[in-house]
Amino acid sequence: MIIKQNRGRQWLDWRRRALVIVEVAGGGVCLWLLVALWVGDMGLPRYMAMRDHAAQLDQEILALKKENSQLRGEIGRLQHDPAKIEQLARERLGYVRKGEQVYQISPESAPGRSGQEGR
């Protein structure tokens, strides 16, 4: 049977000092991490701002997808619906059918004003 020697008081003092050093270093690292979390470039405030920005971008993406589907429907109507093509030609280009009469109304000047302004 082997009996181990008693390491003595010095061993216990050294071990306690080592544990205290490790605890202080661990506390310092934790404190440094907390400061970095709140103050650092990629800290918590930056994370919150990025999260809000991502939510805003998601809403914009949904709105753009909705607009895209509406525009695709309009493209389909323009490609296959002659009535829609005629409507756009009348509205935007001023086209008329044969035999139709066009009446244009020009805006009149306000009463009491002459045609000369800016004097």
Residue 119 confidence (pLDDT) above 50 = no
Task: Report how far apart, in Å, the C-alpha atoms of 70 and of each of 13, 65, 77, 84, 92 are.
Answer: 79, 9, 11, 15, 20
pLDDT for 4-27, tens place per residue?
766 677 777 888 899 999 999 999
pLDDT for 34-74, tens place per residue?
888 888 788 888 889 999 999 999 999 999 999 999 999 99
Query: Where is pLDDT greater, at 104 or 29?
Result: 29
Instruction: Say how far apart CA 65 and CA 77 lie, in whole Å.
Output: 19
Question: What is the pTM assigned to this prediction?
Answer: 0.50
Instruction: Say how far apart CA 104 and CA 77 lie, in whole Å.
Output: 29
Task: Report how far apart, in Å, the C-alpha atoms of 7 and of each of 3, 12, 13 are.
Answer: 12, 8, 11
Say what the pLDDT of residue 20 is.
93
